[in-house]
Amino acid sequence: MFEKLFDYIFEKILDKFVGFLVASGVLILINSLWINITFFRILALSLFIILSISIFALYKLFKINKYLKQKIETAEVNSYQDLCIRINNLLYQNNKLFKKFSPYDENNRQNSLIEDITLWHATQEERMSPNNKKIKNFIENYMDLIPSSDKVLFEKMLDHIFAFEKHLQDRTIDYSKNQFPKDFVELIKTKCNDINILEQEKISKWIKINFKKKNIPVQNYFFFGSILENYYRFISDIDVLIKYNEEDKSDIRAISQKIKLLEKYFEKKFNKKLHISAFSQLENTEFKDFLKSMNTYKEII
C-alpha cells in the first residue's frame, strides 16, 4: 500500500514538480542577478536548487533499486529449468531455516537450545512464509512453462503453501494432510543438477592447482551448499569440503594456516568467500558422518 502510494507520488507528481522547481529556481536566480542582489537570496536559491536535484536523484535511485529487485526476484524466468532454479533457491533457504530452528529436525530433537518454541514460530511466520509466497507467485506466474507431467507436484506444493498459511493464521488448524511435499523437492533438485557447471569447473581447477602448490595432501574434495543450489551470481560463499591425509598435529596446524591463506587468495580472485571445511585423517569418523548428514554434495574430480 505504502509502496504503491510512494510510486504514485514519484511517477505522477514528483517528476513534473521537480521540473517545475528547477525551472522556477533557475529563473528566480537569473532574475536576482539583475534586481536587488543579496547574498542570502542567492544562498537560499542555491539551496533550493540543490534540494530539487537531490529529490530527483533520490527518485531515480528508488526506481533503479526497484527495477533491480524486480529483475532478480521475478524477471528473466524464461525456461522450465530457470523456474526450478529460482524455486530451488527458496526451498534451500527454507530448508536451512528448518534445520536451524525447527524442534522437529532430527539434530535438534535432543538439543536443549530448542526449548523455546516461539523462535520457531517466528521463523515460520517472518522468514519461511514470505519465501513460500514467492514460490507460490513463481508457480502461478509461470504455470505455462511447467510440463503437464510435472504439474501434479507443483499443485501439491501450492496446496501445502495454502494449508501452511492457514495454519500460521490459526495454529489449531491441522495441515497434516498437506504436509511439505518431499517428492516436489526431489523433482526440483533433479531439474537443477547442472547448475553453475562452468563456474564449478573453474573453481575446482583453481582449488586443485593451489592445494597442490601448497603441498596439502588432499584425498577428496566436495562441493556442498549454495553453489549446488542457486545461481552463481546470487551466492556470496562457496562451500568446499576436503579430507586430507595428515595425522601429525604440528603438520595439521601448518596445513590449517595454508588453507586460511588460500581462502584469502580465493576471495581476491573470485570476489566470493571460500569456506573450506577441512578434515584431517584424525577426524575420519566425523568426516564420514558429516558427509552422510548432508542433503546434497558433489565430488570434485
Percent composition of the chain: helix, strand, coil (DSSP 3-state, to 5): 70, 10, 20
Interface with other proteins (CB under 8 A), residue total: 35
CB of residue 121 to other proteins, shortest distance in Å: 12
Is 256 one of the binding residues for other proteins (CB under 8 A)? yes
Is 279 one of the binding residues for other proteins (CB under 8 A)? yes
Is 249 one of the binding residues for other proteins (CB under 8 A)? yes
Shorter beta-carbon distance to other proteins: residue 163 or 259: 259
- Cell readout for 182 is 518431499
Identified binder of other proteins from the candidate list 36, 38, 112, 149, rule CB under 8 A: 112
Is 257 one of the binding residues for other proteins (CB under 8 A)? yes
User: For the purposes of burial, counting CB atoms within 10 Å of the CB of 28, is it exposed (0-12), middle (13-18) or buried (19 or more)?
Assistant: middle
How far is Cα 117 from Cα 102, in angstroms, rounded to an integer?
Answer: 8
Identified binder of other proteins from the candidate list 31, 65, 79, 107, rule CB under 8 A: 107
Is 108 one of the binding residues for other proteins (CB under 8 A)? yes
Shorter beta-carbon distance to other proteins: residue 16 or 268: 268
Is 290 one of the binding residues for other proteins (CB under 8 A)? yes
Contact 167, 124 (CB under 8 A): no
Q: Spell out a b/e string for 47-63, using b for 16 or more CB atoms within 10 Å of the CB, else e.
A: ebbeebeebbeebeeee
Q: What are phi and psi of 93, to 5 degrees?
A: -65, -45
Is 278 one of the binding residues for other proteins (CB under 8 A)? yes
Residue among 96, 90, 87, 93 at smallest CA distance from 187: 87
Using CB under 8 A, list all residues that contact other proteins. Answer: 99-101, 105, 107-108, 111-114, 119, 122-123, 237, 249, 252-253, 255-257, 259-260, 263, 273, 275-280, 282-283, 285-286, 290
